[in-house]
Amino acid sequence: MERDSMLRREDEAWRDFASVLEAVPADRRAALGVVPGWSAHDLLWHCAYWTEFTGGVLEKIRGGDADPEGGEQPEADILAEGRRASWDAALARAEAGRERARAALSGFGDAIPDLAAQWFREDTFEHYDEHAEQIRVFNA
């Protein structure tokens, strides 16, 4: 998949994810059960973290880092950090993270290494799609 197609796909998936999140009533955002033990707020924060992390991985790949994937936090720590953040803070982090990932992908020009394309695909649009569907079912 070429860069412009990936960026378009990410934008479409983000808009869908954001609309699904917007449909969650404020009093249900922290309710567990979207997936076992997780809320819509948790999934928003989870996507925010991984999209931002992916931006960093892509920057490292572009810079020639031999271990671009290192340094992620344990999922339990990510979840705990997210639960201390407000909904608006989680949404702002998600938006900033996606901009970082999009800018990092764009920095490759048309020659995107396979590893960078895989990280971008898996931790942006495929990730949004997966969790949007789970939240949709929960919110039905």
- 140 residues of the chain, pLDDT tens digit each: 799 999 999 999 999 999 999 999 999 999 999 999 999 999 999 999 999 999 999 999 999 987 888 888 899 999 999 999 999 999 999 999 999 999 999 999 888 999 999 999 999 999 999 999 999 999 99
Assigned token pair, 41: 């707020």
Structure pTM?
0.95
One-letter identity of residue 31: A
Helices 40-62 and 114-123, packing angle to 10 deg = 170
CA–CA distance, 97 with 44 (Å, rounded to integer): 12
